[in-house]
Structure 1
Amino acid sequence: MCGGLSHCKLALGFAVFMDLLGGSALLVGVFAPLRFRGKDFGDLFVYTGALFVLMSLGGWVLWYTGNIEGLSSRKELGHIGSAVDRLARNLSRRFRGYQSHR
């Protein structure tokens, strides 16, 4: 049933729950008359709902990054991977050598 969701189902659940809670609070804050002792509390619900939606963004980022497949192995990269490794190693050695002569 949840095979397409893959990994990090807890982060997905958190993100969806916070979106629902934040969206509900936003709608209540905008459309419901929330007066108590002459004071309007609609803004409180709007800001709280926006905060919940912002917090859900963290859950979405966690879920998305948890579902990224691992980087390609060296065997899959073949000759290009070893060339990139050599280039990075050579640049690193030159940079270290330059700093040690200062």
Structure 2
Amino acid sequence: MEPAHRGLGRCTCCFWLAVTFDTVGLLVLLLGVFVNVFFYDLLIYAGAIIIFLSLIWWVFWYSGNIEVLAAELEDDVGLLKKDRVGLGGAVRRLSSRVSTGIRNSFRRNGAPSGRAQRSRAVPPEPQQTGQVAVAMATMAPDTSVSPEETREVDMPPAGT
């Protein structure tokens, strides 16, 4: 038998966090409105943002307290009744047979599954222990350009 949840429900932590965020946000916002400081706009925006962030905790509290009957959950979490008949039961049986057949055919053909497949796929290459020599040389800038080649080119004016 499930314990009876009274008052705040199951997620009391989320409830109190939401109330705390609302209270702190409102205090910061009211400080920004009524206290004469040069950073009042920062306080107003910060208070509004804190109040907005409290919505996250309210959503967590609300969604954590939603009650769903087991009869409504049976399709969603795999609590299907075995004696189902009709088109839905036939489709489920067919789907189960096809997926089981495909799964078994992979096992019969010797195809490894999961971790064994990854570990046997490619043998590791032996590591090289020697050093590799890299040749490096410095390059001097090319100064063979004549002054005539470096003159500016006249461009026609761009029209708009």
Q: What is the number of residues matched between the two proteins?
A: 77
Are 1:54 and 2:57 counterparts? no
Alpha-carbon offset, residue 72 of structure 1: 4.4
- 3-state SS, counterpart of residue 32 of structure 2: helix
Q: Distance in 2 between matches of 1:65 and 1:56?
A: 14
- 3-state SS, counterpart of residue 19 of structure 2: helix
CA RMSD in angstroms comes to 2.8
Q: Distance in 1 between matches of 2:66 and 2:45?
A: 32
- 3-state SS, counterpart of residue 5 of structure 1: coil
Q: Distance in 1 between matches of 2:30 and 2:18?
A: 18
Q: Distance in 1 between matches of 2:69 and 2:44?
A: 41
Q: 1:51-92, CA deviations, whole angstroms, 9 ceiling, x for partnerless residues?
A: 110110000000000000024415xxxxxxx79x93xx69xx
- Mapping 1:3-22, distance limit 5 Å: 3-22=6-25
Are 1:25 and 2:1 counterparts? no
| Structure number with bigger Rg | 2
Deviant stretches of 4+, over 3 Å: none
Structure-2 residue corresponding to 1:98: none
| Greater relative contact order, per chain length (Cα 8 Å cut-off, separation 6+) | 1
Alpha-carbon offset, residue 6 of structure 1: 1.1
User: Structure 2: which 5+ residue stretches go unaligned?
Assistant: 73-83, 96-160
Q: Distance in 1 between matches of 2:12 and 2:25?
A: 20
- 3-state SS, counterpart of residue 55 of structure 2: helix
Structure-1 residue corresponding to 2:62: 64
TM-score w.r.t. the length of structure 2 is 0.42
In structure 2, what residue type is equivalent to 1:57? L
Q: Distance in 2 between matches of 1:62 and 1:18?
A: 14
User: Structure 1: which 5+ residue stretches go unaligned?
Assistant: 35-39, 75-81, 94-102
Paired-residue identity, %: 39
Structure-2 residue corresponding to 1:41: 39
TM-score w.r.t. the length of structure 1 is 0.64
